[in-house]
Amino acid sequence: MNTPKRKYLGARLSKDGLHSTVWAPQAKSVVLQTIESNKQLPLAPSDYGYWEAHSTDIKAGERYMIVLDGKSYPDPVSYSQPNGVHEASELVDLDFAWSDEQYVSPSLKDFIIYELHVGTFSHSYDFNGVIAKFPYLKKLGVNAIEIMPLGQFPGERNWGYDGVFPFAVQSSYGGPKGFQQLVDAAHQHGIAVIVDVVYNHFGPEGNYAQQFGPYLTDKYGTPWGSAVNFDDAHCNGVRDFVLANVRMWFEDYHVDALRIDAAHALKDLGSTHILQEIREETDTWIKQQNKKHYLIIECDLNDRRYLDSTEKHGFGMDAQWVDEFHHALRIAAGEKPQGYYADFHGVKDLAKSFQDAYVYTGQYSKHREKFFGSDSTDLSGKHFVVFSQNHDQTGNRMLGERSSMLFSEDMQRLMALAVMASPFVPMLFMGEEWAASTPFQYFIDHSDEELIDAVRRGRKEEFKSFQSDEEAPDPQAVDTFADCVLKWEEQKETKHENMLNYYESLIAFRKSNSILRQVDRSALRVEHDEQKKLIILYYSFEEVTMIGVMNFSKHSQNIDLYSEHSWEKIWETCSPTWGGSTLLPDLFTKTLKLPAESGAFYQQLQ
């Protein structure tokens, strides 16, 4: 028999007052104490380590602490931390006057995802700065934004993966009400909202959850220390904690999808994996609301079990990020094969990723020193999210360089085409569309000097294999953060304006093309020439046949098609319209001369 799940956790306000639920399986007494009014609400013990109480005297806006066996702590299920991770929690009324009843999320296969970090997206550093850009994003062609983690983290500058209060929306961004306003505004513009959630670890500063119960276990290790306790003693409270958090994003904030960080680090050998329960929880909510919601994972394992349905004993995730497409694309574009890029071989592997999503599908990986990966042949293209940049692959570089700092404008346009021409779900990283000049570096705002020094040392150690004489920017320095804030005014400069026009047109091409918008892997056949650094995509769907040609070399290349048909140009990256230097022929029959670092699509004439 399954343990009964707690539908709501923490201190929640409703029409009949305050309901407080605290999980503290080893406590002898639990009291909710308000700060301003100094009221004490004793909680009574319940089953499975829970403590509960109800009150009609405590109102929204009051700050409170949980007194656990005489010691005061913020609530681990706090919905608001207005004064930071070490201070009192705040009671908030999560009721909101939503105007999105008629909104319908796009199907996952139709997503054009735009990943952003709230703090560096605008010079207001908050949700209002994002809301102000919704008309811009709509014009760009984006229909889904993916927001880096929002759970309260130490200070005001952080990527979000150091969060310690997963239920409390970061106060410096605008808190719970600010995020509700953002989601409502996004839906008014026809834009879905994806939230990046972190269930594999807690940040290193301000994690008071462990004072309440065994949220962590030494049974497994992770890159962040002890693993979150999903299968050890008292794991029921931790599993409830995560499932309640999933429900909160859907119910209280109307988000359309979750991106689950580092799903491979969710250590769970129980009979039902926590991802399967997250799938079940999400499906229950979908059924109740009759609205689409998706689960996307970051996963370092080419393991199809994460995507296989629960009926097939998989974890039932809707999609995963494909880092290997990114790695192969970067090597094809000229990135040095060092660090984890050493496993990739340019156009050969990129061609394989176009066909198979994964590059490693069971062969030997020198970097991992083992045979790696599984076959994904029969999985739909909508299961895979691809990109030429993202926060990780940019920010985890020593200097946080974007593609605009590493590659020519011609190559940037070609890389964008590779993403948009794939039979997968495409994603952009904020500012990519105008070749933003700002880096995206790693930054923190901790208060513990020993921790700050440890992070600095860790960054230096991380880049040893990349063999650079450069020094990593100080992650604690305000300037490291400030340098990353997007400069929207530079869009007016010719080279940035050209790139923005290119991306707008490319996204429109992707969305209007009768084949590409199908996200149908079975419609694609791929050829490549490793010596010439060429890739040819052959797409056929119903009565339409087209080819995508991509030249990653620094020389023009002849592409010979052994076909009697004529081919009509429908897209090119090298047009002077967006800063290129060549107009390709509108028609060709057997041979096409393709300029260096360029790509094009041609449709077969009947």
Give tens-digit pLDDT for 390-407.
999 999 899 999 999 999
Look up the domain containing 583 and give its range: 524-604
Write out pLDDT tens, residues 459-494.
888 777 555 667 889 999 999 999 999 999 999 999
**Residue 459 confidence (pLDDT):** 86
Instruction: Quote the tokens at residue 536.
Output: 């040819």
Check if 543 is active-site.
no
pLDDT at 1 over 50: no
CATH number of 53's domain: 2.60.40.10
**Closest C-alpha to 331, from 506, 530, 486:** 530
**Cα dihedral 533, 430, 262, 191 in deg (nearest 10):** -110
Write out pLDDT tens, residues 108-132.
999 999 999 999 999 999 999 999 9
**Residue 221 confidence (pLDDT):** 87
Average pLDDT of the segment spanning 144-162: 97
Instruction: Quote the tokens at residue 4.
Output: 């009964």
What is the chain's mean pLDDT, rounded?
95
Query: For residue 4, what pLDDT band results from cuts at 50, 70 and 90?
Result: low
Q: Which residues contact 596 (CB under 8 A, 6 or more apart)?
A: 410, 551, 553, 554, 555, 556
For residues 25 and 115, membership in a common domain is answered with no
**Residue 606 confidence (pLDDT):** 77
The CB density around residue 148, as the number of other CB atoms within 10 Å, is 24
For residues 502 and 542, membership in a common domain is answered with no
Within 34-133, residue ranges assigned H as helices are: 118-121, 127-131
CA distance 168 to 79: 4
For residues 84 and 171, membership in a common domain is answered with no
Count of domains forming the chain: 3
For residues 239 and 350, membership in a common domain is answered with yes
**Residue 3 confidence (pLDDT):** 60
For residues 482 and 345, membership in a common domain is answered with yes
**Residue 572 confidence (pLDDT):** 98
The DSSP symbol for 589 reads S
Write out pLDDT tens, residues 184-238.
999 999 999 999 999 999 999 999 999 999 999 999 988 888 999 999 999 999 9
DSSP 390-409: -HHHHHTSTT---GGGTS-H
Domain assignment present for 560: yes
Instruction: Quote the tokens at residue 390.
Output: 């993202």
Chain centroid to CA 361: how far?
23
Domain assignment present for 3: no
**Cα dihedral 50, 55, 60, 66 in deg (nearest 10):** -40
**Residue 597 confidence (pLDDT):** 98
The DSSP symbol for 43 reads P
Count CA atoms within 13 Å of residue 219 on its CB side. 17
Domain assignment present for 451: no
Instruction: Quote the tokens at residue 140.
Output: 């760009």
Look at strands 384-386 and 319-321 and give their pairing: parallel
Give the whole-number percent of the chain exceeding pLDDT 70.
99
Domain assignment present for 273: yes
For residues 81 and 167, membership in a common domain is answered with no
Check if 298 is active-site.
yes
Chain centroid to CA 271: how far?
28
For residues 406 and 442, membership in a common domain is answered with yes
Domain assignment present for 117: yes
By the 8 A CB rule, do 195 and 148 touch? no
Helix (H) or strand (E) holding 569: strand 567-572
**Residue 465 confidence (pLDDT):** 59
CA distance 41 to 38: 10
By the 8 A CB rule, do 433 and 486 touch? no
Comparing 139-143, 267-271, 337-341, the range with the smallest average pLDDT is: 337-341
Query: Buried b / exposed e across 328-359, counting CB within 10 Å, b at 16+?
Result: bbbbbbbbeeebbbebbebbbbbbbbbbbbbb
For residues 500 and 533, membership in a common domain is answered with no
**Cα dihedral 501, 503, 506, 512 in deg (nearest 10):** -90
Write out pLDDT tens, residues 511-554.
999 999 999 999 999 999 999 999 999 999 988 999 999 999 99
Domain assignment present for 165: yes
CATH number of 507's domain: 3.20.20.80
**Residue 466 confidence (pLDDT):** 56
The DSSP symbol for 484 reads T
pLDDT at 302 over 50: yes
For residues 174 and 68, membership in a common domain is answered with no
pLDDT at 2 over 60: no
pLDDT at 599 over 90: yes
For residues 315 and 169, membership in a common domain is answered with yes
**CA gyration radius, the chain:** 25
For residues 188 and 256, membership in a common domain is answered with yes
**Closest C-alpha to 294, from 311, 278, 305, 308:** 278
Helix (H) or strand (E) holding 50: strand 50-55
DSSP 52-73: EEEESS--TT-EEEEEETTEEE
**Closest C-alpha to 165, from 63, 245, 236:** 245
- Active-site hit among 231, 256, 261, 409: 261
CA distance 406 to 402: 7
Domain assignment present for 104: no
Average pLDDT of the segment spanning 361-389: 96
CA angle, corner 334, sides to 330 and 336, nearest 5? 85
The DSSP symbol for 557 reads E
For residues 161 and 211, membership in a common domain is answered with yes
Domain assignment present for 241: yes
Write out pLDDT tens, residues 5-53.
787 899 999 999 999 999 999 999 999 999 999 999 999 999 999 999 9
The burial class, CB within 10 Å (0-12 / 13-18 / 19+), for 310 is middle
- Active-site hit among 62, 232, 298, 349: 298
